Amino acid sequence: MGKKSNKYKEMIIRYLEGQLLDNEYEELSSFLSEKENLRLFDETKKYWTPSTKESRKADQNWIRLRSRIARNKVITGNIKSNKRYFQWAYRAAAILIIGLIVGLTIINLRNTSKLAVNQTIIETPRGEKSKITLPDGSEVWLNSSSELRYSSFTTKLRQVSLKGEAYFNIKRSEKALFKVITERCDIEVFGTKFNVMAYDDFHRNEITLISGKVNIRASNKTIEMIPGERTIIKNESITKERVPIEQSIGWVDNTFIFDDILLTELIKRLELRYDVDIDLELGSESDVSFGGTFKNEETIWQVLDAINVYVPIEYERTSSREISMKVK
């Protein structure tokens, strides 16, 4: 390949370091969609020694790159992806993968040897969300940087595993129990609408019931919920509270409502929504609380300007997807 090989090797290294530009993702993914070119990816990665920060970026960016690669492959299933219009917009769509993409070195795919042959994996990159129709006709909205897995549904059990956040509209069945498995709990329903937040970074699960009835099993306890309630599971603690429904599911319609949220958590949510990395320095201040409503049309800079009205901050863009931010 010569010069061409060196060009793509350099692009692969910048991808692994999280420095690949938006307009380069399409070119690199097109190059890697050819099976023979995957050898260059594998060889380059083999001799690349990442720092902790670079490794985290590579892990976060893999889903975005794989989404682009997968567009050139046969994709099955029923997925609708909502396009966003933010500062760093890109066309990466959520993808549905049956089994594994053979030959790829998947950085963030864990325990691949344990995957069922017919397991379906649905993932959304940061900054994107998707609407999925499950085999039984149930609908799921999958939020940014989330993953849903399931095998074949049966006449008695419909089961999915979730990492991240999803809003479920489950088709009612008196015979086939629907179950959502997260790291901290199991959620059992027969037909209802509910939201589950199970991001690892937030160290808790939040289940908000919109309509119907669910049973939550966690820490050897069974919790029954009624519409308008939110159950919070954190460590061994389980609490319930009444909440405005729109606060939990506003993200489905691109409206984000925060009430007394810590700034550190708000920043993490903005990273997910806008596909950016924000380096927050609190300085001498302890973590502060924030409340507000953001809508789809606002850019990351408009959101930061709004935060600055309530919490004095300084911020600047340091690279294509990195922002440095300091509380004054």
CA distances (Å), origin 82, targets 89, 169, 271, 299: 12, 18, 18, 16
How many whole angstroms from its chain centre is CA 13?
24
**All domains in the chain, ordered by first residue:** 74-248 (2.60.120.1440), 254-327 (3.55.50.30)
E-strand stretches of the chain: 79-82, 95-98, 120-123, 129-133, 139-142, 147-150, 157-169, 177-181, 186-189, 193-198, 205-211, 214-218, 221-225, 229-234, 237-242, 255-262, 277-281, 289-295, 313-319, 322-327
**Closest to 192 (Cα-Cα) out of 216, 217, 173:** 173
* Cα atoms in the Cβ-side hemisphere of radius 13 Å centred on 261: 19
**Confidence (pLDDT) at 203:** 93
The model's pTM:
0.70
Which amino acid makes up residue 178? F
**Confidence (pLDDT) at 57:** 55
**Confidence (pLDDT) at 292:** 80
Question: What whole-number distance in Å separates Cα of residue 104 and Cα of residue 271?
Answer: 27
**Confidence (pLDDT) at 15:** 76
**Confidence (pLDDT) at 104:** 31
Tokens 């993808």, residue located? 95
End-to-end CA distance of the chain: 52
**Confidence (pLDDT) at 112:** 37
Alpha helices per DSSP H over the chain: 3-16, 22-32, 38-46, 52-70, 245-249, 263-274, 300-310
What are the backbone dihedrals phi and psi of residue 13, each rounded to the nearest 5 degrees, phi first?
A: -65, -45
In this structure, are residues 171 and 137 in contact, taking their beta carbons and an 8 Å threshold? Answer: yes
How many whole angstroms from its chain centre is CA 129?
8
* Residues in CB range of 268: below 8 A, 6 or more apart: 199, 201, 202
**Closest to 93 (Cα-Cα) out of 115, 77, 106:** 77
Contacts 24+ apart (CB under 8 A), 47-53: 48/13, 48/16, 50/16, 50/17
Both tokens assigned to 91: 């066309």
CA distances (Å), origin 60, targets 65, 108, 293: 10, 8, 26
**Confidence (pLDDT) at 246:** 87
Tokens 């993953």, residue located? 147
**Confidence (pLDDT) at 286:** 67
* pLDDT tens, residue order, the chain (328 aa): 566 778 888 888 877 766 777 677 778 877 877 777 777 877 777 766 655 455 555 555 555 555 555 544 433 333 333 333 233 223 222 222 222 222 233 333 333 334 444 789 999 988 888 999 999 999 999 999 999 999 989 999 999 999 999 999 999 998 899 999 999 999 999 889 999 999 999 999 999 999 999 999 998 899 999 999 999 999 889 999 999 888 899 999 888 888 888 889 999 999 999 889 999 988 766 677 877 888 767 889 988 998 888 888 899 998 878 999 998 8
In this structure, are residues 272 and 127 in contact, taking their beta carbons and an 8 Å threshold? Answer: yes
